[in-house]
Structure 1
């Protein structure tokens, strides 16, 4: 059955154009004395302050824009107000629409006042903020004019420590002070300095010390500030209500108790009797308070603990313990509290209360695709257990399946494609090695991952089964850096029941290598950098470098001890199968630039190359690159683009019954502007550029070989738009892609502008998650 999507697509495009038309009249619902806030603009006499920080103080923000230049949510709202009230109109106004933002002079005045307060906190005490509003065609454009003037800078800094016990600690750390002559006298800097001093003392055992013991004495003259940092002593109120200064007290940790099954609500209800339901056991001197069943082994909790019994109290070690425990992903709530030991004036007992999360869960995902009438249905069932052996081991089990009906076309014959598989993985929260690495565990959060998978692919002309076993290590490096090493990655590719006429038709072509049995024994290393901030709306970058290979050790062994006499062509075998030998490397760089919380511009660059040698003439099919599809050049189907300028001739239409183009070299560049209608509904416009190539000349695919001097003239260009629905736990994505430049077509006709455009040229992809 062929689905005709021309009318739905035309209707959708018509709706978009209609709303664009509505956006040209965004003021249609305003009364005579109302103006639509069209734009806010900040002008400063010098770029010494980040405008993005100022923008967070706007008391009025114009209606959100979609596709940069028109206000789609406002247009949807205006449309919903036309004619009679309807439920579907109300739904559109509530889900996608946005009421017009009416200019309010009082809110503009408050914004200017907020700017002045912010600038004073940034040391610009004499900043002058004015504003001007331009009214035109029922729209208001507000310009905020800021003259920063001369800021106050720090001239001298002195420290006065009234407690002789902590004086050496504070003075020894003044080299790290945030208050330095010549720096701006900003209130944020002063507050951060108080926190720095307090944290330093709390890391040195002073459990009771807070920022309240630190004050500033400041003298300003001629835009210069002399600062005296005063650190006060502790105090005691005697029975006669007189205040007596006393030294700050240093504390040590006495006992540490873990409560791995703590229920805060039950503890409140039961009060003192709550703890009678538990038993306390001792493990390596630490107390573990359990119910009848131990949900987490003590050994696992101790590995995540940085607090030492008998050791000096340290706030940093408390935070490290919180971080390590949360990284286990076993607990919904983690709380560390301290209680002073009554019979001692310097000891603390520590209680680590851990409220378990839900250990088990499952999810079901369904996907549909339809490209030029080729309907596909797929899905997967995922099961996860976060504590399968009571040691924070994460077990994942995934069942997947897919079906696609390939309709008959000028290039491909009608056929059915069936694929299903199962994948199981086990992740342990430590390195499984013959030696211990306790310190490494504390700082690097190491993990060992075991994975096994089975994949069954049925095509009209063959059946292929891929078995894989993988073992790897993952750990954190320096800030923002992660490492992944897979020393063992074994795959067995088994091609079954190939059609004899099909094998004969591909003999001597690149496809012949794709339908051979292979044994792949390799490994890989990945370096990942990501500085994504916790605060939304901040710019960040992502970089990944992969290096992998296979067959090299076996080839060295065979060269010393083996014989080339078992496979036609003189190739070595393992278990009666030819083994692959290759090296591959690729890089993936992405940059996320946020205009605001709901809109961002994402840039992505990918380049990779795989080189076969030694015991192999070609890269195994499962390791080759392809382009197109929902995560690549979205104007082409997956594996239907390239390589190079190669185009399947009509004479080979019987061989290429489904997209199957693979290559050794890949290059892609993606540019995607994402915008939000509201918290859940998102939109995007994108531009994709790229292709794949073969490294060697391939007579069966003319134009497929990579040539550095002309590869840029063989790039495919696609563009389009899409919609996303964000459900917090998953993002459902629908993209329409249109081929702008087809590298298979020579000359100017390769560009869509030079030929007749048809709606059927659109390729649409449905997927879960963002493409990058």
Structure 2
């Protein structure tokens, strides 16, 4: 059977299976195949009719079975599974989770849908619309047909707000500047509802705690002009007096050890703590009062507003100490127009021990497992401080890379202490719903690379983390110290150093200290937006103050050592920008640009290996082995004469990735991608010809393409990518594009060029 016959056979087999879906229908039933909505408006424009048709098509119910190219595979699987004998097992899962029950024409209510279409058009200003409904049968399938004839749309002529002198009327009137109801725009019931919600939100900022949108009405006067309406905003007469009064804050009472299951509200005089404007009921003296003073925005005498209300709750939740946070406001018994604020807080268990077994991958194509043991104390010093001590051990192997067989074993420990405030001589308290944090870290790691060397690393840092809002985040490490010391360097590795002197950088003693800062902006959680972004900029200033004070200058031979180790001095900048374009409900185009540079001076003439840039691998250029590419046009594989390939590193990095993502079926998603980029050195290296950055850097970009599958199990995403290069920068100039050499049917070509990547999570 040739390829054409095979394709034809598969097509007709799928078509036959789709048609056979109808033979499983109950007697007398028809398969519902969807609705056709036709809009014929003589008084409306083509643009209006097209928009109405799209909108009306979304509101008719039910929705037909999902289909691909006219086929209904989910329905076919549902029928294929038959009737499971038990509510478990493979057949039950196939029928209920993968399959889809038939949507029957008997479920369609033509009259109901006709009324829905009528209401929708009239709610958008197309009064006096005429609608009709019918259906068409084709064998055992049926389609619903709706005809909509809208009249000319009514436009808003004027919007009128209350004019009387009442406090509530004045407050409503003062919100009109940002009204959603605009002159000359079409009448819309949804916009009127949104306007009521908007006015209520503004009133909540002005102390009107008991007001709600239902106390507003918008009268419509359609007699004022031809196809025009006046909208009159009014406060309902039945609105309660409480809703028309702005309130201030009186007492603020906090119960930091509240339990629903016990009577924790009993108060004795010796359990009451007064702290500034707060009354704290904490019989067991679990918390220092000042943490609530920092978290709560309300002060006695403040005008109630929803912003401070929500910020206070967010901060209490973000302390990470409480399982439940409940808030209640009551009218004061002693003062008119005042509210007493109550906060009921249920703590999490103070101490916990957790063990985790993780599967992990990294940018170097290493895949492995790690065991973590974590002990934590959520209120270490009665100030909601989080103390965490962890121990870990793991192994990583390179499934597809140049160093397959040289496994990595890691063990270590780390201690973190996080204060829910800025620990600083200056009084700082950012006005955000997110609690600012101070973090101190101490850590040790022992890493053994089989048959090569071992590496001990000591780390310490002290810094601040704060969020302006859910989109903007800052991380400032006032100091970050890393000391790396090699051990057990094998003869094999010494032999490799003789062949490739750059390998010696990996096992040099390293001492790094200095501040670092990163800023992150993202709006990717706003899933309704068509365009979303992620941006991260980071800056490392290592050894700068020490270098300036000591006058270190390696170029003049003035190298300064601490603990018999020359400290590093450099500036490193990196920027990561990502853009996500939503193409449909289940598809998007994701793109990323990374640019980074490291500049040494003073006490260093080379960037430390652990701080240099790398490229290639599962989360980078997927058509090239991890860390095997570059720098520049240097060919690390050709220069290698040893047992394994050295990781290639550089001082500069430029990378671009773009990926089309779409849902294929069920939990399976697919992707087509293109990656490009490279790394370079700033200085000439005689051991790496072609590695230095020059104005011809664009001619040294590597390019690769590929396709992949993503299996979304909700708790993790398993990713498989298959890629191959289109451009190899290490080939002679003029021969770098290799499109004409692509030969998927050639086993030798596949062995040399096809790269398989297995990873967890998306690459970006």
Fold shared per TM-score above 0.5: yes
Contact 2:628 2:636 in 1 (8 A): no
Classify 1:406/1:215 alpha carbon distance in 2 versus 1 (closer, same or farther; 3 Å).
closer
Say whether residues 1:700 and 2:687 are aligned partners: yes
Higher relative contact order (CA 8 A, sep 6+): 1
Distance 1:413 1:216 in 2: 72
Partner Cα distance (1:345, 1:247) in 2: 14
1-structure distance, mates of 2:640, 2:517: 39
Residue 324 of structure 1 deviates from its aligned partner by 2.3
In the TM superposition, 1:593-612 aligns within 5 A as 593-594=581-582, 598-612=586-600
| Structure 2 unpaired stretches of 5+ | 1-5, 40-44
Counterparts in 2 of 1:478 and 1:247: CA distance versus 1, 3 Å: closer
SS at match of 2:460: strand
Q: Does 1:754 align with 2:760?
A: no
Does residue 28 in structure 1 map to residue 20 in structure 2?
yes
CA deviation after TM superposition for structure 1 residue 490, in Å: 1.7
Matched residue, 2:675: 689
Please state how far the C-alpha of 1:620 moved relative to its aligned partner.
1.5
Tell me how far apart the structure 1 counterparts of residues 83 and 364 of structure 2 sit (CA, whole Å).
36
1:161/1:232 contact within 8 Å kept: no
Counterpart in 2 of 1:723? 710
In 1, Cα distance between equivalents of 2:631 and 2:501: 14
2:250 to 246, 249, 254: 254
Q: 1:437 aligns with which of 406, 409, 428?
A: 428
* Contact 2:624–2:725, Cα closer than 8 Å, also in 1: no
Sort the Cα spacing of 1:312 and 1:83 in 2 relative to 1 into closer, same or farther, 3 A: closer
2:701 equivalent in structure 1: 714
Separation of aligned partners in 1, 2:572 and 2:67: 43
Q: Give, in angstroms, the shift of residue 276 of structure 1.
A: 6.0
Q: Of residues 587, 608, 621 in structure 2, which corresponds to 1:620?
A: 608
Q: Hey, what's the Cα distance between the residues in 1 that align with 2:298 and 2:55? A: 38
Cα contact 2:397–2:404 (8 A) shared by 1: no
Q: C-alpha deviations, 1:643-675, integer Å up to 9, x for none?
A: 4454444672425x2562223313131314142
Shift of 1:689: 0.4
Q: How far off its partner does 1:115 sit? A: 5.2
Alignment map for 1:273-422 (pairs within 5 Å): 275=266, 279-292=271-284, 294=286, 296-357=287-348, 360=352, 362=354, 364-367=356-359, 376-382=368-374, 384-404=376-396, 414-422=405-413
- Of 640, 646, 661 in structure 1, the residue corresponding to residue 628 of structure 2 is 640
Task: State how far apart, in whole Å, the 1-side matches of 2:53 and 2:525 are.
Answer: 19
Match of 1:660 among 639, 644, 647: 647
Unaligned runs of at least 5 residues, structure 1 = 1-13, 237-244
- Give per-residue Cα distances to partners, 1:349-379, cap 9 Å, x unaligned: 2211223345646351332779999984445
Q: Which moved more, 1:137-146 or 1:425-434?
A: 137-146
Q: What is aligned with 1:219? A: 221
Which residue matches 2:488?
A: 497
Contact 2:481-2:513 within 8 A present in 1 as well: yes
Question: Structure 1 pair 361/441, CA: closer, same or farther in 2 (3 Å)?
Answer: farther
Measured in 2, the distance between the counterparts of 1:252 and 1:22 equals 69
2:474 aligned residue:
483
Which residue, out of 509, 512, 515, partners 1:517? 509
Partner residue, 1:46: 47
* TM-score normalised by length of structure 1: 0.80
CA distance in structure 1 between the aligned counterparts of 2:389 and 2:523, rounded to whole angstroms: 30
> Which whole-Å CA distance do the structure 1 matches of 2:130 and 2:525 have between them?
32
User: Is the Cα–Cα contact under 8 Å of residues 311 and 433 in structure 2 kept in the other structure?
Assistant: no
Identify if the C-alpha distance between structure 1 residues 400 and 126 changes in structure 2 by more than 3 Å, giving closer, same or farther. farther
1:734 — aligned with what?
719
In 2, the alpha carbon distance for the partners of 1:408 and 1:631 equals: 14
Question: CA separation of 1:675/1:406 partners in 2, compared to 1, >3 Å: closer, same or farther?
Answer: closer
Question: Could you tell me how far 1:755 is from its partner in structure 2?
Answer: 5.5
Displacement after TM superposition at 1:255 (Å) = 1.3
- 8 Å contact 1:739–1:752 — kept in the other structure? no
Range 45-54 or range 760-769, more displaced? 45-54
Task: Call closer, same or farther: CA 1:355–1:434 in 2, change over 3 Å.
Answer: same
- Aligned 1:115-154 pairs, distance under 5 A: 117-125=119-127, 150-154=152-156
Quote the offset at 1:139 in angstroms.
8.3
CA shift in 2, pair 1:319/1:367, >3 Å: closer
Contact 1:97/1:677 (CA < 8 Å) preserved in 2?
no
2:400 and 2:303 map into 1 onto residues whose CA distance is 76
2:42 counterpart residue number: none
Q: Do the aligned partners of residues 750 and 516 (structure 1) sit closer, same or farther apart at CA in structure 2, a change above 3 Å counting?
A: farther
Does the CA-based 8 Å contact 1:430-1:448 persist in structure 2? yes
Q: Distance in 1 between matches of 2:246 and 2:360?
A: 64
Return the TM-score normalized by structure 2: 0.81
> Which stretch has the larger CA shift, 176-185 or 747-756?
747-756
Q: CA deviation at 1:529?
A: 1.5
For 1:408 and 1:205, the matched residues in 2 are separated by 63
Residue equivalent to 2:568: 580
Q: Is 2:441 the counterpart of 1:451?
A: yes
Q: Give me the whole-angstrom Cα distance separating, in 1, the residues matched to 2:573 and 2:153.
A: 51
* Worse-superposed segment, 158-167 or 546-555: 158-167
Q: Conserved in 2, the CA contact under 8 Å of 1:418 and 1:457?
A: yes
After TM superposition, give the deviation of residue 229 of structure 1 in Å.
1.8
Contact 2:288 2:383 in 1 (8 A): yes
Say if 1:372 and 1:666 are closer, same or farther in 2 by CA, change over 3 A.
closer
**What is aligned with 1:241?**
none
Distance 1:35 1:347, change over 3 A: closer
How many pairs does the alignment contain? Answer: 731
Local SS of the residue matching 2:59: coil
Is this contact kept in 1: 2:168–2:245, CA < 8 A?
no
